[in-house]
Chains A and B, each alone.
Chain A
Amino acid sequence: MALVLHTYKGNKGAFKALVAAEYAGVKIEEAADFQMGVTNKSPEFLKMNPIGKVPVLETPEGAIFESNAIARYVSRKNGENSLNGSSLIEYAQIEQWIDFSSLEIDANMLKWFAPRLGYAPFSAPAEEAAISALKRGLEALNTHLASNTYLVGHSVTLADIVTICNLNLGFATVMTKKFTSAFPHVERYFWTMVNQPNFKKVLGDAKQTDAVPPVPTKKAAAQPAKPKEEPKKAVQLLHLLIRE
């Protein structure tokens, strides 16, 4: 039985596992008929992940949820490779950047992005605080990447895979060139990595957004959570990108 990844198309959480699979030489099938909001509410799915979020990886030995955990599993599936470093300290530092990019970058980027798309209540002071925290995180990352090509060691590790997939969502949705130009080493790092063959195979052509999505109107803000109909195509992609 192959490894089966349950997710909607374009899920950045799923990308992490898929890129890791390219590097580790692991085969992953994406569940063909997955329907967001339907498949992940079925009893079979909830047995795999009681909170009903995606992505979820089904393996012959059991199921795994949480995108970083799935990526870690995939990175170790075929035994030794350089994705997890070559010493205990390297491994720990890979973990530190994985957590950092999830908590300090991805989480704040989502707090900026989601309310503007109507998925959470919008509040100007909260957005200001989120952007401020995001800048603080990117600044620390920028400092590290000024003198490091990769996050850990001298080649791509799982830390780079997770961080780049997180950054990719930010670049695509809210972080304009004007915003990221304050972090030139992060820019260098990002564009180099997304153009590596194993990343390109999964992410496609990475694009940077020209503008921040506008603040929703009062009506949209008053009704957060999932819209039942499909919003217009441009917004639709963004909608899919954040639903975990």
Chain B
Amino acid sequence: MALVLHTYKGNKSADKALIAAEYVGVQIDVPSDFQMGVTNKTPEFLKMNPIGKVPVLETPEGSVFESNAIARYVSRLNGGENSLNGSSLIEYAQIEQWSDFSSLEIYGNILRWFGPRMGFMPYSAPAEEGTISALKRALDALNTHLASNTYLVGHSITLADIITVCNLNLGFATVMTKKFTSEFPHVERYFWTVINQPNFKKVVGEVKQTEAVPPVASKKAAQPAKPKEEPKKKEAPAAEAPKFAEEEEAPKPKAKNPLDLLPPSPMVLDDWKRLYSNTKSNFREVAIKGFWDMYDPEGYSLWFCDYKYNDENMVSFVTLNKVGGFLQRMDLARKYSFGKMLICGSEGPFKVKGLWLFRGPEIPKFIMDEVYDMELYEWTKVDITDEAQKERVSQMIEDAEPFEGEALLDAKCFK
């Protein structure tokens, strides 16, 4: 049985093990049918790694998680006779010191800079400032060391270089522009030399340094800058499209919400939400039928939405995060809406299709104003006299699969 590395394509942390394998002369298989968000949630996977993260290495003797640990394991295969782990106890320890340093001081801070700008974590300007400051402090220390050392330890590539350069690679690819790294010229020398070594190049390919930091897409900043049409096509961000940031505080509608002033409707949204949630079987006969029985086309409206930029949705968990972020920002509208977001397809580009029920005859203005994601979708009002459209609504509520000929990666409900 070969060694099997479970990971999504392009995982910079997985590169560490693969590069080590090149140096050691060990074969590692990377299954191409790995689906992030799916494969790593199965019981079999969780037995290998109870926290469900990647990468994970499956070996005949057992499994290993944590990218540095995997790289260490690989580096000791084939008898362990290689120079990756140094030639003395002190060299070994110093290899470990740089491996940990680059993970905690460099990679950790890069992630805390990059993640919030991509919407993976809450964004906060003071926190980002602290993170960049800590990153600079670390790069400064690394720069000092590399002024008089070609490699981190000894006179040839060790595991410390493999781990450190893979950690730096995430930074170079996403947030560390040339302007930023030019303060650390020895780090630059080191990075470009090592990443162009054949065993690195085989695994990571061509490496390009990002030209810009992904912008923070705050609601306030975004709205004046963007006209309703297509600003996105003009930008050319190297990294994944950074159109969304984590929410700052979703402002609650102050004073009277115009929707509260509408004439009363026989439909009570909470009743629908309860019916939806409590129906465990015969969903079509009970919940869907119940929906159409209680639906009030005077007091409410139904809308289809289609994400305008599906061609960007190549990575499953990024796509899922995008939709998750949208639903978080809809929190201020919870009292007046119900939504289903379907992420369709068995591989990228995934298509995001939504179905929304809103109080009132139109999409409420305060939602269009406050929820930045709304303008990333095409909105069409559902014509309930059209049986095909009605059926589409029903299918979206019940998570019909296949939906319009495709498998569902996920279906998220906003209620």
22 contacts between A and B (CB under 8 A): A51-B101, A61-B90, A62-B90, A64-B96, A66-B96, A69-B94, A73-B93, A87-B61, A89-B64, A96-B70, A99-B67, A100-B65, A100-B66, A121-B127, A121-B130, A123-B126, A125-B122, A126-B122, A129-B122, A139-B51, A140-B50, A144-B50
Complex interface bits, B67-99 against A, C-beta within 8 A gives 1, otherwise 0: 111101100110000000000111011101111
B92 contact set on A, CB distance < 8 A:
72-73, 76
Interchain CB contact under 8 A, A65 and B97: yes
Interchain CB contact under 8 A, A64 and B124: no
Tell me the residues in window 192-242 of chain A with beta carbons closer than 8 Å to chain B beta carbons.
Answer: 224
Complex interface bits, A67-89 against B, C-beta within 8 A gives 1, otherwise 0: 01110110011000000000111
The DSSP consensus for interface residues of chain B is: helix
Tell me the residues in window 213-246 of chain B with beta carbons closer than 8 Å to chain A beta carbons.
Answer: 246
B104 contact set on A, CB distance < 8 A:
66, 102-103, 107
Residue picked from B59, B64, B93, most chain A C-beta under 10 Å: B93
A91 contact set on B, CB distance < 8 A:
72-73, 76
The reply to whether the CB of B264 lies closer than 8 angstroms to some CB of chain A is: no
Interchain CB contact under 8 A, B65 and A89: no
How many Cβ-Cβ contacts under 8 Å join chain A to chain B? 138
The reply to whether the CB of A35 lies closer than 8 angstroms to some CB of chain B is: no
The reply to whether the CB of B141 lies closer than 8 angstroms to some CB of chain A is: yes
Interchain CB contact under 8 A, B88 and A61: yes
CA of A100 to CA of B49, assembled, Å: 11
B62 contact set on A, CB distance < 8 A:
89, 93
The reply to whether the CB of B274 lies closer than 8 angstroms to some CB of chain A is: no
The reply to whether the CB of A10 lies closer than 8 angstroms to some CB of chain B is: no
CA of A92 to CA of B52, assembled, Å: 18
Interchain CB contact under 8 A, B108 and A107: yes
The reply to whether the CB of B138 lies closer than 8 angstroms to some CB of chain A is: yes
CA of A103 to CA of B90, assembled, Å: 24
Complex interface bits, B119-138 against A, C-beta within 8 A gives 1, otherwise 0: 00110101101100000011
B124 contact set on A, CB distance < 8 A:
121, 123, 125-126
The reply to whether the CB of B144 lies closer than 8 angstroms to some CB of chain A is: yes
A68 contact set on B, CB distance < 8 A:
96, 100
* Known contacts A50-B141, A51-B105, A61-B88; A70/B93 CB under 8 A: yes
> Given A64-B97, A93-B62, list of 7 further CB < 8 A pairs?
A64-B93, A76-B92, A107-B108, A120-B130, A121-B124, A125-B124, A140-B51
Tell me the residues in window 170-219 of chain B with beta carbons closer than 8 Å to chain A beta carbons.
Answer: none
The reply to whether the CB of B284 lies closer than 8 angstroms to some CB of chain A is: no
Interchain CB contact under 8 A, B66 and A99: yes
The reply to whether the CB of B103 lies closer than 8 angstroms to some CB of chain A is: yes
Interchain CB contact under 8 A, B127 and A120: yes
B61 contact set on A, CB distance < 8 A:
87-89
* Known contacts A93-B62, A95-B72, A99-B69; A123/B96 CB under 8 A: no
Interchain CB contact under 8 A, A98 and B93: no
* Known contacts A51-B105, A95-B73; A125/B246 CB under 8 A: yes
Give the contacting residue for B100; candidates A59, A69, A224; CB below 8 A: A69
Interchain CB contact under 8 A, A92 and B70: yes
Residue of A nearest to B65 (CB): A96
Interchain CB contact under 8 A, B66 and A51: no
Give the contacting residue for B66; candidates A103, A123, A144; CB below 8 A: A103
Residue picked from B89, B99, B100, B103, most chain A C-beta under 10 Å: B100
Residue picked from A92, A123, A128, most chain B C-beta under 10 Å: A92
Residue of A nearest to B99 (CB): A69
CA of A81 to CA of B77, assembled, Å: 20
The reply to whether the CB of B145 lies closer than 8 angstroms to some CB of chain A is: yes
Residue of B nearest to A93 (CB): B64
Residue of A nearest to B248 (CB): A125
Interchain CB contact under 8 A, A77 and B50: no
The 8 closest A-B pairs by CB, nearest first: A92-B73, A73-B93, A69-B96, A140-B51, A95-B69, A51-B141, A125-B122, A140-B50
